[in-house]
Amino acid sequence: MEEERRVSCIVCPLSCVGDVTIADGKVKTVAEFGCPRGEAYAREEVIAPKRMLTTTVRVSGGQLPLLPVISRQLLPKDKIISCARCLANVTVSAPIKEGDVILSDILKLGVDIVASRDLDAI
Amino acid sequence: MHEEIFDVVIIGGGPAGLAAAVSASDNGAARVLVIERDRELGGILQQCIHNGFGLHRFKEELTGPGYALRYIKMVEARSNITVMLDTMVLAVAADKTIVAVNSRDGMIKITAKAVIFTMGCRERTRGAIRIPGSRPAGVFTAGAAQRMVNMEGYLPGKKVVILGSGDIGLIMARRMSLEGTRVEAVLEIMAYSNGLTRNVVQCLEDYNIPLYLSHTILAVHGNGRVTGVTCAKVDAAMRPIAGTEFYLECDCLLLSVGLIPENELSRELGIEMDGRTSGPVVDQLRQTGLPGFFAAGNVVHVHDLVDFVSEEGEIAGKYAAWHANGKMGDCGCLITVKAANGVRTAVPQVIRAVSGNTEPVRLYMRVEKPEKNVTLAILSDGQVLLERKLRVAKPGEMIVVDLPVENIKKIGDDITVVLKH
């Protein structure tokens, strides 16, 4: 089975749109991207797309009711929603420092979720 | 009335104000004050929890709060910078006295040697774009919704339509989706999105959210709460096309339809404004037309990168410190910078040809509409000072060009920036 996918490149402001054909889970051809960086992005984007996750968790006893958090590394794109759902059930206690691990090894994906700011207690 | 005296007073503790405070302190201002109306420093960065900030400045992709924290720590490390939180400036007079108010001290009178405006910008509202229909609850600007969702813990709706495809609208589409809200559609009146391609891909395509280009909202429905919106396609003159109307059910409408620099204080002083940027006219030192009054960041012109906001803050901070210390010297002759032929805005709008000046002048420009393969030309007296070939130019992406000092010396009495096809 051969599949053709259109991919918008996000590497630079030129925003090339190219075509990638995939067969048996492997990239067969990459066309219409203006540069090798775009081709490399497109290859990864069709086979194993990754994204950073930024969201919030609840805080008890803090200056604010929410703490912004970020994944320390990229996560598989198809796991982003389940990671966000998982973090919706987390509550942490203030005070918190930027970089504190809020949830380690989220969904056993090998990535830690960390605080992206300091938050003092009331 | 409680009275205080400072050398440099900065109004607004967002990214521009923080950078200005650090720079004023590092450039010899003895007493620096930052006045901030929120409960903490950082401005809008505190609610922008997504990453991608600081690639130029810190060579890493920080979140908004992470970027703010770096500058807050720099401010805290300088003992000559005072911060007043929860404090609102009510008036600024031409003699540089400022009246502010807060719940601890009541009315405060502050005397400054130099003032920096870093009040940022505000969102355009439903009233600003005159959407007809009923006036139910559930219509918010995207930034207001961002603050509710990211800082206050409220979800403004469960089924959302977003009008405007600027970056804030796109980022909120993703954010609401992650919080379990269904985003029905993003509508954009222009034939193109003003947001970064990266955001169109990662905020809309990732969540299967349709983007309707050349579409707008004709009416808001609902009694008490929004129940839906009537949408339609628009023609090239942005007029709705009869017969293309359709209805989208929703309980929340978010507006991401542009930002306006917040210049009530500057206007009251009679400072000359630029009708295109809606900010004050500034020179390359970020001094306004009123000596001793400086401005930086989104209050001057709306930026897309916080890195450049910080850079402007640094420039304003440095020269405000010089002004406070009587080091400004000869102001030099004035050269106006005009944007024309496809270029919509250019900042600074004025260049001072100060003798002995050795720093290049960085020009920030925006084009009128998306273009491919054009040349940006900086002209003076019919002479080309500098040319830059652009494979793409988009209104949403600011063009930054450094004009070397030797080119400035060749300048006549004004400069025009144009696009050549």
Q: Which residues of B touch A77 (CB under 8 A)?
A: 206
Residue A82 touches partner B, C-beta closer than 8 Å: no
Please indicate whether, in this complex, the C-beta atoms of B197 and A84 are within 8 angstroms of each other.
no
* pLDDT by 10s per residue, chain B, length 421: 889 999 999 999 999 999 999 999 999 999 999 999 999 999 999 999 999 999 889 998 999 999 999 999 999 999 999 999 999 999 999 999 999 999 999 999 999 999 999 999 999 999 989 999 999 999 999 999 999 999 999 999 999 999 999 999 999 999 999 999 999 999 999 999 988 888 999 999 999 999 999 999 999 999 999 999 999 999 999 999 999 999 999 999 999 999 999 999 999 999 999 999 999 999 999 999 999 999 999 999 999 999 999 999 999 999 999 999 999 876 677 889 999 999 999 999 999 876 666 788 999 999 999 999 999 999 988 788 899 999 889 888 899 999 887 777 667 778 999 999 8
Please indicate whether, in this complex, the C-beta atoms of A116 and B65 are within 8 angstroms of each other.
yes
Query: How far A57 CA sits from the closest chain B CA (Å)?
Result: 9
Q: So where are chain B's domains? A: 1-123+258-329, 125-257, 331-421
Residue A116 touches partner B, C-beta closer than 8 Å: yes
Q: What is the pLDDT of residues B148-175, one digit of tens each?
A: 999 999 999 999 999 999 999 999 999 9
Please indicate whether, in this complex, the C-beta atoms of B69 and A98 are within 8 angstroms of each other.
yes
Asked if B1-123+258-329 and B125-257 have one fold, the answer is yes
User: Which listed CATH number (2.40.30, 3.40.50, 2.60.40, 2.60.120) goes with B331-421?
Assistant: 2.60.40
Q: CATH for B1-123+258-329?
A: 3.50.50.60
Q: Are the C-beta atoms of residues A14 and A33 closer than 8 Å to each other?
A: no
Q: Which ipTM value was assigned to this complex?
A: 0.91
Q: Which residues of B touch A87 (CB under 8 A)?
A: none
CATH topology of domain A54-115: CPE0013-like fold (3.10.530)
Q: Which residues of B touch A80 (CB under 8 A)?
A: 178, 206
Interface test with B, best of A41, A56, A85 (most B CBs within 10 A): A56
Q: So where are chain A's domains? A: 2-48, 54-115
Q: CATH for B125-257?
A: 3.50.50.60
